[in-house]
């Protein structure tokens, strides 16, 4: 019987489509007898995309699956694993059933790591045993062996042994005995040193740029030193981009030249800012910075701050010293006018200071400040001229960007003045502060802070208000107005105290990714004598919003230590330290 031509063509196409559909039918895997890492590795090894278009192809595929299971098991130390594989046709394609009997797992008996050559006594290569993942007494995992080999190679490269080679790299497995021995022996070759550093063109003299380099020619090579150099170029603030590269191909006599490609940032920057706090009200800020005045890296900056309570203008000239990143000498002149609660002052100052930052994260600032201040505090009115040597230690650690979820901030300062040293009054003023912030499980945040201050003076009435202690406000005892707490004169106006003690405890709970609810208790006061300390207490609740410019803090606070229980709303923007 003959079919019409178009029917014949349709039949042929249908047959081809059935063949293709059968060939590309899905293979559904069911695995039993293996769990965890072993099961995951077996699934990763089994090929479920194979084309099965005949009985012979099915038998070959089953054999291939058994081999894949054994390879996957051996990679994890199961050298006596067995697999029972069945393959059957189902409507949707093929059903592959694999039952695994893992058997005993091989254990690492001995790990021998050896380094010869110049690196035999290198402390970095000596600690390699502590960082490789392969250890005696543990189950064998071939990935650990390969990772150990890579770790040795990486450590050699990180420490300048670029000519290293493995003289022995062997993993001996006794499946019947259930043990494996690993041997990795490396000849480190010579250790290279860092050579001369060259810079791309920039406005700075070479003598200044060389002070940014954290090593000298001939220093043994470490990748860490190169990365530190790159980081220092960014931290210096002079460059908007910097790339440090070693030129191994140009090495001579074991020294590798270093090239720093730098792109100088804008020379002049003008900034403006607008803010608000319930302590000062609306605030305006205008700033100017000349990032480099000359080819020696000197800087010049000035700033104008305006609010209803405080106005200030300052100019600062900064000179980098031996370490341009962490050691600076600065000269600052400033004018400031304040009218806050019951105190008013206008002051001029000239300050010379040296600021050093250490590897521990601590910063030390030594300064000499000339201060001339005209002030009124209650019934006290005066004008004082002081010469104040001082020292300050501070450290800030934080994680989480502009809205940190972990951190702490310590600050300790001491200033003194003497009538024998061009001052109108004897003063010794000490200030201690600490803020601590931690977050648990991403939702529970705890913030604790404390501030202590003390002052000895020969004449308190001639002590400027800028050196007296006050309490109250957004960053002090909430529930009370800014600088409204402290000793009062006969007219009931706050004059400030010789001592300060405040503490705060706050808990906040994250209700969404950017919003938190907070509850807090603040306590403290400024006072005239140790035995006159009478703490005020403020408590309340608030909300926190993690805005793009920093956390916004809105608090509703009550001064519960007062009979009339004052109520205040506190609003501020910025991190806790």
Q: Give the CATH number, domain containing residue 168.
A: 3.10.20.310
Q: Is 531 helix (H, G, I), strand (E, B) or coil?
A: helix
Do 466 and 560 belong together in one domain? yes
* Residue 571 contacts residue 556 (beta carbons within 8 Å): no
The model's pTM is 0.82
Tell me the C-alpha distance between 396 and 576, whole Å.
11
Tell me the C-alpha distance between 476 and 574, whole Å.
15
Residue 283 domain-assigned? no
CATH number of the CATH domain containing 522? 2.40.160.50
Boundary of a domain, candidates 244, 264, 284: 264
Ramachandran bin of 402, using left for φ above 0, alpha for ψ from -120 to 50, beta for the remaining angles: alpha
pLDDT of res. 379: 86
Residue 143 domain-assigned? yes
pLDDT of res. 4: 43
Secondary element (H or E) of residue 305: strand 299-307
Residue 298 domain-assigned? no
Backbone angles phi, psi at 414, to 5 degrees: -140, 130
- In this structure, what token pair is assigned to residue 276? 């608000």
- In this structure, what token pair is assigned to residue 143? 């990935």
Residue 341 domain-assigned? no
Boundary of a domain, candidates 137, 168, 187: 187
pLDDT of res. 54: 85
Output the tens digit of pLDDT for each of the chain's 577 residues.
334 444 444 433 333 334 444 445 689 999 999 999 999 999 999 999 888 888 889 899 999 999 999 999 999 999 999 999 999 988 878 999 999 999 999 999 999 999 999 999 999 898 888 889 999 999 999 999 999 999 999 999 999 999 999 999 999 999 999 999 999 999 999 999 999 999 999 999 999 999 999 999 999 999 999 999 999 999 999 999 999 999 999 999 999 999 999 999 999 999 999 888 899 889 999 999 999 999 999 999 999 999 999 999 999 999 999 999 999 999 999 999 999 988 999 999 999 999 999 999 999 999 999 999 999 998 889 999 999 999 999 999 999 988 999 999 999 999 999 999 999 999 999 999 999 999 999 999 999 999 999 999 999 999 999 999 999 999 999 999 999 999 999 999 999 999 999 999 999 999 998 999 999 999 999 999 999 999 999 999 999 999 887 889 999 999 999 988 889 999 988 887 7
Do 13 and 97 belong together in one domain? yes
Do 80 and 121 belong together in one domain? no
pLDDT of res. 16: 39
Tell me the C-alpha distance between 223 and 519, whole Å.
48
Q: How many C-beta neighbours within 10 Å does residue 341 have? A: 20
Residue whose pair of structure tokens reads 């070759």 in the numeric block: 189
What is the domain range of residue 173?
107-187
Tell me the C-alpha distance between 418 and 426, whole Å.
4
Do 121 and 224 belong together in one domain? no
Residue 275 domain-assigned? no
pLDDT of res. 24: 55
Do 498 and 521 belong together in one domain? yes
Secondary element (H or E) of residue 20: helix 5-23
Tell me the C-alpha distance between 115 and 431, whole Å.
55
DSSP 391-457: EEEEEEEEESTTS-SEEEEEEEEEEEE-TTTT-SS-EEEEEEEEEEEEEETTTEEEEEEEEEEEEEE
Do 79 and 114 belong together in one domain? no
Backbone angles phi, psi at 138, to 5 degrees: -105, 160
Residue 270 domain-assigned? no
Secondary element (H or E) of residue 502: strand 499-510
Tell me the C-alpha distance between 292 and 299, whole Å.
5
* In 145-232, beta strands by DSSP E: 165-174, 179-187, 193-199
Do 405 and 493 belong together in one domain? yes
Do 44 and 133 belong together in one domain? no
Do 150 and 203 belong together in one domain? no
Do 81 and 96 belong together in one domain? yes
The number of distinct structural domains making up the chain is 4
Do 46 and 174 belong together in one domain? no
Secondary element (H or E) of residue 314: strand 310-320
Residue 304 domain-assigned? no
Backbone angles phi, psi at 162, to 5 degrees: -75, -15
Q: Is 11 helix (H, G, I), strand (E, B) or coil?
A: helix
Tell me the C-alpha distance between 110 and 239, whole Å.
52
- In this structure, what token pair is assigned to residue 340? 């806050």
Boundary of a domain, candidates 214, 239, 264: 264
Do 65 and 141 belong together in one domain? no
Residue whose pair of structure tokens reads 């208000």 in the numeric block: 465
Pairing relationship of beta strands 363-377 and 281-290 according to DSSP bridges = unpaired
Q: CB neighbours of 538 closer than 8 A, spacing ≥ 6?
A: 477, 478, 479, 480, 521, 522, 523, 557, 558, 559, 560, 561
Residue 127 domain-assigned? yes
DSSP 22-78: HHT-EEEEEEES--HHHHHHHHHHS-------SHHHHHHHHHHHHHHHHHHHHHTT-
């Amino acid at each position: 019987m003959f079919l019409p031509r178009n029917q014949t063509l349709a039949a042929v196409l249908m047959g081809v489509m059935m063949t293709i559909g059968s060939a590309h039918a899905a293979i559904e895997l069911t695995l039993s007898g293996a769990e965890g890492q072993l099961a995951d590795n077996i699934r990763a090894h089994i090929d479920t995309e194979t084309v099965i278009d005949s009985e012979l192809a099915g038998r070959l595929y089953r054999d291939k699956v058994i081999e894949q299971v054994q390879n996957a098991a051996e990679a994890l130390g199961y050298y006596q694993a067995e697999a029972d594989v069945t393959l059957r046709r189902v409507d949707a394609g093929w059903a592959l059933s694999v039952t695994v009997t893992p058997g005993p797992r091989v254990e690492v008996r001995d790990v021998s790591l050896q380094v010869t050559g110049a690196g035999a006594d290198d402390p970095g290569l000596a600690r390699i045993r502590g960082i490789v993942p392969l250890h005696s007494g543990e189950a064998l995992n071939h990935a650990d062996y390969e990772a150990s080999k890579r770790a040795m190679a990486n450590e050699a490269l990180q420490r300048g042994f670029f000519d290293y080679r493995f003289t022995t790299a062997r993993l001996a497995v006794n499946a019947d005995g259930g043990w494996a021995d690993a041997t990795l022996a490396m000849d480190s070759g010579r250790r290279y040193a860092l050579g001369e550093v060259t810079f791309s063109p920039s406005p700075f003299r070479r003598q200044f740029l060389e002070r940014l380099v954290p090593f000298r020619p001939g220093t043994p090579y470490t990748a860490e030193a190169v990365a530190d150099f790159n980081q220092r170029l960014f931290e210096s603030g002079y460059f908007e981009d910097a790339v440090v590269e070693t030129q191994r191909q140009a090495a001579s006599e074991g020294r590798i030249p270093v090239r720093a490609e730098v792109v100088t940032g804008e020379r002049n920057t003008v900034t403006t800012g607008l803010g608000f706090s319930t302590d000062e009200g609306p605030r305006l800020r205008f700033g100017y910075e000349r990032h480099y005045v000359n080819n020696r890296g000197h800087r010049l900056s000035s700033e104008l701050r305006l609010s209803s309570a405080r106005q200030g203008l300052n100019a600062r000239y900064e000179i980098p010293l031996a370490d341009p990143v962490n050691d600076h000498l600065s000269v600052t002149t400033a004018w400031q006018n304040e009218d806050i609660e019951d105190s008013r002052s206008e002051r001029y100052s000239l300050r010379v200071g040296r600021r050093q930052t250490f590897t521990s994260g601590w910063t030390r600032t030594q300064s000499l400040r000339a201060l001339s201040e005209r002030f009124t505090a209650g019934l006290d009115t005066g004008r004082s001229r002081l010469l104040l040597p001082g020292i300050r230690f501070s450290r800030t650690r934080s994680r989480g960007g502009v809205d940190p979820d972990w951190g702490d901030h310590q600050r300790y300062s001491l200033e003194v003045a003497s009538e024998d040293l061009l001052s109108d009054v004897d003063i010794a003023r000490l200030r201690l502060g600490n803020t601590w912030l931690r977050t648990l499980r991403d939702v529970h945040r705890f913030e604790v802070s404390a501030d202590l201050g003390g002052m000895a003076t020969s004449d308190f009435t001639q002590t400027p208000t800028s050196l007296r202690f006050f309490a109250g406000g957004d960053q002090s005892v909430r529930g009370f107005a800014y600088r409204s707490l402290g000793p009062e004169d006969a007219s009931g106006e706050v004059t400030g105290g010789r001592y300060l003690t405040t503490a705060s405890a706050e808990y906040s709970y994250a209700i969404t990714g950017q919003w938190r609810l907070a509850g807090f208790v603040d306590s403290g006061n400024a006072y005239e004598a140790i035995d006159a300390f009478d703490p005020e207490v403020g408590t309340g609740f608030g909300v926190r919003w993690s805005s793009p410019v920093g956390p916004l803090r809105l608090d509703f606070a009550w001064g519960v230590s007062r009979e009339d229980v004052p109520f205040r709303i506190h609003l501020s923007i910025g991190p806790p330290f």
